[in-house]
Amino acid sequence: MSQSLSRWQAVVLGLVVVSAVAVGGYGLARIADKQGLWADTFEVTAGFPEANDITPGTPVRIRGVDAGQVVAVEYPDHDGPGAEVTVRMRLDSRFANRVYADATAQIFGSGLLGSKVISVNPGTPERGPLADGRLRGLKPFNMDEAVADARKTAEEVRALAAETKGLVKEVRDSNGTFMKLIKDDDLYTDAKALIARTDKAIGGLETTVGGLEKEITGLHGFIQDGRETMRSVKQGTDALGKMPIVRGYVENSTELLVRPNSRRDMWAFQTKDLFLADRPAELSDNGRIHLNNVANAIKANKNKYAEVVVVAYCDPADKTQTTASASELTKKQAEAVVGHLKADDVHKLGTFSRRKLTPLGMGMNPSPVVEKETLPPAVVQVMVFTPQ
């Protein structure tokens, strides 16, 4: 036996369905925007002897900035000398005039998870624009090969040194005189050739060591890039538990703190001026007084689109904190400040209108903003962003 819905029940059900479809469509649109499906793009290609773990979707970066992704990997049409795997990449159109004729591409490992990334060096403007859309692929750096070359060169130097030492000993133990040594053209020729070979070997060793130093310097940059990747992965993992519908979109610290189209009003306090010494995440009486003054200043801003961000930083030189504990401490400090501001009705703009307040704990990570004034290493910043 079925029972028909009343008019109001049908209206409520329809509103629920329409809202679910709208939220789902919004989520899909944001995900598509993140993937660059609707952005203006252009394609370039690069050839590599091997495309190790490069697949469609592999990120492409220009000077370390996300610029696009791999769309196809094509096997070479022949297996003879010079055969290369062609990697097709789709890049954001804003880089179209920033990639030049001597641009290069190289495959690197990103972070500690073993994922790959293609790093593009855009080249120099003096060489002119990239005409044929083909980048020169560089051979990935191989530490084992570099160490083997250095070891081989070192062995050659040791062998030449031993040969030189034997020659000197032979001359010293010979029955001839010093004048005979000077007049012996064959010995002079041999010694000159030996010195030339030694100089050449030493020069090769210096070149190899210099190359190793350059590559190791580059590795430091990729290790830092790996740390940034791990922080991004952590942000995405935290967001999955909070966003059951739109799971691919995360507001990161850069998006929160860097807003070129908004006016920023900022108040900065040393953490010791806001929190208790023995309970560093609990506000002191003096700290509440400071925040009351800030609350009054924020409430004077009546712009309904203005947003408040509270960010806390830990001193990287603080030996009493680890990276994990500093992240949790600064998170709790930012939440405590936001809680106090809300208790002072900073978020209320009217009967129903509310202002957005966001706490952000940065731990020992640096700020993405270059401040005009020098701030203490352990600091709490209260910022109001007003769109212009």
The tens digit of pLDDT for each residue in 223-239 reads: 566 566 556 555 655 55
Containing 269, the helix (H) or strand (E) segment is strand 262-270
Contacts of 42 (CB under 8 A, 6+ apart): 90, 91, 93, 96, 133
Mean pLDDT of 289-298: 93
Share of the chain above pLDDT 90, in %: 42
| Range 357-372 average pLDDT | 93
Confidence band, pLDDT 50/70/90 cuts, at residue 39: low
Provide the 3-class DSSP secondary structure of residue 358. Answer: strand
The closest of 204, 200, 196 to 151, measured between CA atoms, is: 204
Domain boundaries, the chain: 1-38, 41-138, 152-226, 253-387
SS3 223: helix
Share of the chain above pLDDT 70, in %: 73
According to the model, what pLDDT value does residue 148 have? 73
Q: Taking the model in full, what pTM does it have? A: 0.40
Place of tokens 């007084």: 289
- 307-313 and 379-387 strand pairing: antiparallel
Cβ-Cβ contacts under 8 Å for 289 (sequence gap 6 or more): none
Out of 17-31, 161-175, 322-336, least confident range: 161-175
CA distances from 216 to 155, 210, 222 (A): 22, 10, 10
Q: What spatial distance separates the first Cα and last Cα of the chain, rounded to whole Å?
A: 60
Model pLDDT for residues 322-346, shown as the tens digit of each residue: 999 999 999 999 999 999 999 999 8
Separation of alpha carbons 150 and 270, rounded Å: 51
Q: How far is 227 from 221, CA to CA, in rounded Å?
A: 10
CB 363 within 8 A of CB 330: yes
Residue 219 predicted with pLDDT over 80: no
Q: Which CATH superfamily is domain 253-387 in?
A: OmpA-like domain (3.30.1330.60)
Confidence of residue 191 (pLDDT cuts 50, 70, 90): low
Cα separation, 167 vs 148, in Å, equals 29
Amino acid, res. 274:
L
List beta partners, residue 89. Answer: 44, 70
Locate 43 and state its tokens: 């394609």
CA 22, CA 27: separation in Å to the nearest integer?
9
Q: Report how far residue 362's alpha carbon sits from residue 334's, in angstroms, rounded to the nearest whole number.
A: 10
Sign of CA dihedral 173, 174, 180, 183: negative
